[in-house]
């Protein structure tokens, strides 16, 4: 299979994630779209690593997965806090945490 096909899939996944972040108002859906964008970037890193014959892209993808796991913990904690206080997971309610 042509490695550039993976780049096309990565671009499509990243576009779907970006559209989801811009269009959706539910915090959990936006959160999943951000994760989709990170996975698309990981696919690109691994593909370029495969094309160039080095392990650099795979190492960067591994560290991106570590950062994404940390982001999941913090992001879900914030979403749970918003839901407990407002009974809604809407992004519009996120500004209410400033009080």
85, 90, 81, 86: which is closest to 31 by C-alpha? 90
89: enclosing H helix or E strand: none
Distance in angstroms between the alpha carbons of the first and the last residue of the chain: 54
- Which pLDDT belongs to residue 99? 57
pLDDT surpasses 90 at 93: no
Q: Is residue 82 very low, low, confident or very high in pLDDT (cuts 50, 70, 90)?
A: confident
Provide mean pLDDT across the span 1-9: 91
The pLDDT value given to residue 27: 83
Question: Is the pLDDT reported for residue 94 higher than 70?
Answer: no
Please give the residue that has the higher pLDDT: either 21 or 1.
Answer: 21
Can you give the pTM of this predicted structure?
0.82
């Amino acid at each position: 299979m042509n490695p550039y096909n993976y780049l096309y899939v990565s671009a499509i996944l990243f576009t779907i994630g970006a559209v989801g972040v811009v269009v959706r108002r539910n915090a959990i859906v936006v959160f999943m779209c951000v994760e989709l964008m990170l996975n698309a970037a990981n696919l690109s890193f691994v593909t370029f690593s495969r094309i160039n014959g080095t392990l650099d892209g795979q190492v960067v993808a591994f560290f991106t997965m570590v950062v994404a796991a940390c982001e999941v913990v913090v992001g879900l904690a914030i979403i749970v806090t918003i839901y407990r206080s407002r009974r809604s997971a809407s992004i519009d309610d996120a500004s209410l945490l400033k009080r």
